[in-house]
């Protein structure tokens, strides 16, 4: 890489963004400073278009670079992926250097201030995005991705790597919430040179144990190395997916399972995963390789139409444990559209994405205890929907399995299942034959007890919402992200010994909630700071079983 490549990048940025980058805050600066600001900002916008799936106007509107940006030069929330992208952009006309330790510390502080909603530490551009940031930070499913984009040749120096690795370790306490992606001169130039920004994607694919079908349309199938797929996404990102389907949705129940398999049992991945479907304008077998053990294929104008979640999970897993992922194989189909009718691509896309999927929740329908609870509640005039597809017409007279499971989890005497309900409620349905499921649903649980518990948890939710509405910043996040923990703590302070009795006074217990909350809530954040430090981020804290148990044990009453 050289100054020539930097000039290629520079020309591209001027061609793509010359009329759309806001430079009003530097209009009186020296010409060289204006040019540096333009290149820094347009580089950040380009990174968002390629890596975050932002369109041109959204990417340029996301620029926050300027005085008091706190290390964040652009900020964009992809609502479909539930991913908040933060960009640090550095431009060097010489094409040297990297993200130095000073910049890494700024990025670390800026990220920590952002996720703790310390908006007073940011400029007006970031404060203007406050509603978007609050929506992202308060969403338990949000992932964060920091893009470190620069025209140097070294991804990160040792000191910078250490600083950012520590940040990842602090945030990724129990799950992969934060990703940090260095984007160098090489990455930028390859994206531009290969035309992936606006041009079709062409791939050379290695298929093991391959086969083909000829009638009615040509297609090849076989095994692809998972690390090859990770590199496809690294090179082409969201453009790799057909625009008619969803992109990677982050840490959903299924994606978490996929990543766990890649980490722990990569050799089993081929057996557990449904694979991916790729549409191509043409697929050509290369002469190299004459048997079916391995073949090389040239695929033009490719788009993944089924398997976006698999590809995204592979990419995310590869960034954390590449050695394990390199052992995994993925079943893949490459369908040629060369001789197919014009409607065929859309038909394949629709069909492969609308087949019924069976999730953990569906296996709960096999448990006779659920049928018993539904019957008991029906006699009380309450609708209990525990099967997929069943609907609840009104909260006044009904609830579903997810709400029932959460209510049972937070009403246990220990905090462990409340934490699991916060992390991933679906794990509580993983095996209906053993705990933790059997702790929640067993013959001792009556329909009346379940309904009253649901009503009680709803009332606690209303109380917590009232508190959150009056709070700001970090204190507010403790109530929002700590909702399951607080529900468990509040219920522990209620007398529910006769909840199964006909004359149980639910209204009296609900009336006690404001007083309990007023004593409990102000104690949680200070005790957390005392035990774990005042910079711990509430979202991962309340997904950590041992820390929540320690916090619970140390609350003053």
| Contact predicate 547/538, CB 8 Å | no
Q: What is the mean pLDDT of residues 31-53?
A: 94
Q: In this structure, are 23 and 141 located in the same domain?
A: yes
pLDDT tens digits, one per residue of 214-235: 999 999 999 999 999 999 988 8
320 falls in which pLDDT band (50, 70, 90)? confident
Average pLDDT score over the chain: 91
Q: What is the mean pLDDT of residues 179-207?
A: 83
Closest CA to 189 of 13, 413, 37: 13
Per-residue pLDDT at 263 exceeds 80: yes
Per-residue pLDDT at 532 exceeds 60: yes
For residue 369, how many C-alpha atoms fall within 13 Å in the half-sphere facing its CB? 17
Burial of 525 (0-12, 13-18, 19+ CB in 10 A): buried
Contact residues for 273 (Cβ-Cβ < 8 A; gap 6+): 258, 261, 310, 330, 331
Q: In this structure, are 292 and 394 located in the same domain?
A: no
Which residue, of 352, 381, 402, is where some domain finishes?
352
pLDDT confidence of residue 343: 87
Per-residue pLDDT at 155 exceeds 80: yes
In a domain, 223, yes or no: yes
Q: In this structure, are 19 and 114 located in the same domain?
A: yes
Which position has the higher pLDDT, 351 or 210?
Answer: 210
Q: In this structure, are 185 and 224 located in the same domain?
A: no
Question: Would you state the torsion angle of the CA atoms of residues 422, 425, 427, 433, taken in this order, to the nearest 10 degrees?
Answer: 130
pLDDT confidence of residue 385: 95
| Contact predicate 442/488, CB 8 Å | no
Query: What is the phi/psi pair of residue 220, to 5°?
Result: -120, 150
Q: In this structure, are 21 and 155 located in the same domain?
A: yes
Q: In this structure, are 236 and 382 located in the same domain?
A: no
In a domain, 262, yes or no: yes
Q: What is the mean pLDDT of residues 20-40?
A: 94
pLDDT confidence of residue 237: 74
Q: In this structure, are 40 and 153 located in the same domain?
A: yes
Domain region containing 457: 360-554
Look at the chain and report how many structural domains it folds into. 3
Q: In this structure, are 42 and 138 located in the same domain?
A: yes
Per-residue pLDDT at 65 exceeds 90: yes
- Which residue is it, tokens 């390859």? 190
Per-residue pLDDT at 8 exceeds 90: yes
Which position has the higher pLDDT, 554 or 193?
Answer: 554
| Contact predicate 547/532, CB 8 Å | yes
Q: In this structure, are 482 and 420 located in the same domain?
A: yes
Which residue, of 302, 319, 352, is where some domain finishes?
352
Token pair listed for 166: 């520590």
Per-residue pLDDT at 336 exceeds 70: yes
Per-residue pLDDT at 505 exceeds 80: yes
pLDDT confidence of residue 346: 82
In a domain, 198, yes or no: no
pLDDT tens digits, one per residue of 199-212: 788 999 999 999 99
pLDDT tens digits, one per residue of 357-408: 556 777 898 899 999 999 999 999 999 999 877 889 899 999 999 999 999 9
Closest CA to 358 of 233, 253, 227: 253
Per-residue pLDDT at 243 exceeds 90: no
In a domain, 275, yes or no: yes
Query: Over pLDDT 90: what percentage of the chain?
Result: 71
Q: In this structure, are 466 and 383 located in the same domain?
A: yes
Any alpha helices (H) in 303-365, and if so which ranges? Answer: 308-320, 322-325, 344-352, 360-364
Task: In whole angstroms, give the CA distance from residue 312 to residue 259.
Answer: 10
In a domain, 491, yes or no: yes
Per-residue pLDDT at 262 exceeds 90: yes
Q: What is the mean pLDDT of residues 75-97?
A: 91
Q: In this structure, are 155 and 28 located in the same domain?
A: yes
- Residues 430-443: b if buried by 16+ CB within 10 A, e if exposed: eebeeebbebbbee
Q: In this structure, are 47 and 136 located in the same domain?
A: yes
pLDDT confidence of residue 195: 60
pLDDT confidence of residue 349: 85
pLDDT confidence of residue 470: 94
In a domain, 263, yes or no: yes
pLDDT confidence of residue 366: 85
pLDDT confidence of residue 357: 54
pLDDT confidence of residue 414: 93
Task: In whole angstroms, give the CA distance from residue 262 to residue 317.
Answer: 7
In a domain, 451, yes or no: yes
Closest CA to 394 of 384, 402, 386, 404: 384
- DSSP code at position 355: S
- Which residue is it, tokens 């008991």? 376
Which residue, of 193, 228, 248, is where some domain finishes?
193
In a domain, 107, yes or no: yes
pTM: 0.75
pLDDT confidence of residue 316: 87
152-156, 283-287, 424-428, 481-485: which is most confident: 481-485
Q: What is the mean pLDDT of residues 535-548?
A: 91
Which position has the higher pLDDT, 307 or 41?
Answer: 41
């Amino acid at each position: 890489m050289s100054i020539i490549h930097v000039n290629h990048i520079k020309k591209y940025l001027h061609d793509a963004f010359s009329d759309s980058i806001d430079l009003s805050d530097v209009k009186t600066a020296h010409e060289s400073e204006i040019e540096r600001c333009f290149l820094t900002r347009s580089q950040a916008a380009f990174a968002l278009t390629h890596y975050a799936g932002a369109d041109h106007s959204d990417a340029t509107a996301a620029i926050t670079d300027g005085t008091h940006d706190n290390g964040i030069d652009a900020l964009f929330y992809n609502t479909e992926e539930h991913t908040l992208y933060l960009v640090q952009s550095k431009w060097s006309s010489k094409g040297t250097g990297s993200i130095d330790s000073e910049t890494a510390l700024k990025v670390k502080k800026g990220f920590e201030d952002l996720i703790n909603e310390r908006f007073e530490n940011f400029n007006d551009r970031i404060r203007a995005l406050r509603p978007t940031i609050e929506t992202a930070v308060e969403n338990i499913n949000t992932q964060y991705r920091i893009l470190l984009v620069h025209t140097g040749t070294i991804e990160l120096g040792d000191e910078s790597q250490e600083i950012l690795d520590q940040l990842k370790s602090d945030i990724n306490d129990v799950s992969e919430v934060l990703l940090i992606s260095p984007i160098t001169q090489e990455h930028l130039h390859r994206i531009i040179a290969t035309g992936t920004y606006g041009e079709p994607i062409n791939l050379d694919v290695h298929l093991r144990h391959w086969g083909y079908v000829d009638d009615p349309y040509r297609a090849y199938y076989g095994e692809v190395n998972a690390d090859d797929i990770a590199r496809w996404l690294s090179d082409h990102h969201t453009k790799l997916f057909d625009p008619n389907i969803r992109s990677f949705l982050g840490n959903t129940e299924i994606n978490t399972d996929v990543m766990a398999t890649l980490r722990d049992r990569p050799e089993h991945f081929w057996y557990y995963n449904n694979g991916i479907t790729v549409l191509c304008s043409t697929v050509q077998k290369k002469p190299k390789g004459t048997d079916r053990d391995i073949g090389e294929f040239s695929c033009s104008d490719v788009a993944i139409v089924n398997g976006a979640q698999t590809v995204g999970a592979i990419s995310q897993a590869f960034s954390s444990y590449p050695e394990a992922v390199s052992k995994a194989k993925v079943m893949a189909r490459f369908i040629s559209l060369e001789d197919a009718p014009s409607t065929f691509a859309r038909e394949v896309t629709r069909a492969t994405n609308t087949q019924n999927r069976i999730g953990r929740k569906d296996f709960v329908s096999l448990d006779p205890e659920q049928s018993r609870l539904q019957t008991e509640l029906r006699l009380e005039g309450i609708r209990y929907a525990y099967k997929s597809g069943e609907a609840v017409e009104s909260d006044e007279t009904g609830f579903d399995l997810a709400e029932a499971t959460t209510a049972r989890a937070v009403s246990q005497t220990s905090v462990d299942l409340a934490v699991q309900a916060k992390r991933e409620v679906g794990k509580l349905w993983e095996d209906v034959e053993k705990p933790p499921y059997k702790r929640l649903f067993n013959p001792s649980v009556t329909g009346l007890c379940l309904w009253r518990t649901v009503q009680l948890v709803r009332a606690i939710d209303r109380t917590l919402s009232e508190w959150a509405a009056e709070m700001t910043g970090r204190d507010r996040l403790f109530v929002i992200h700590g909702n399951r923990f607080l529900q468990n703590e509040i219920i522990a302070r209620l007398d529910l010994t006769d909840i199964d009795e006909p004359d149980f006074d639910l209204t009296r217990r609900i009336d006690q909630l404001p007083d309990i909350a007023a004593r409990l809530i102000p104690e949680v954040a200070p005790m957390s700071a005392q035990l774990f430090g005042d910079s711990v981020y509430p979202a991962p804290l309340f997904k950590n079983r041992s820390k929540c148990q320690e916090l619970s044990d140390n609350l003053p009453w």
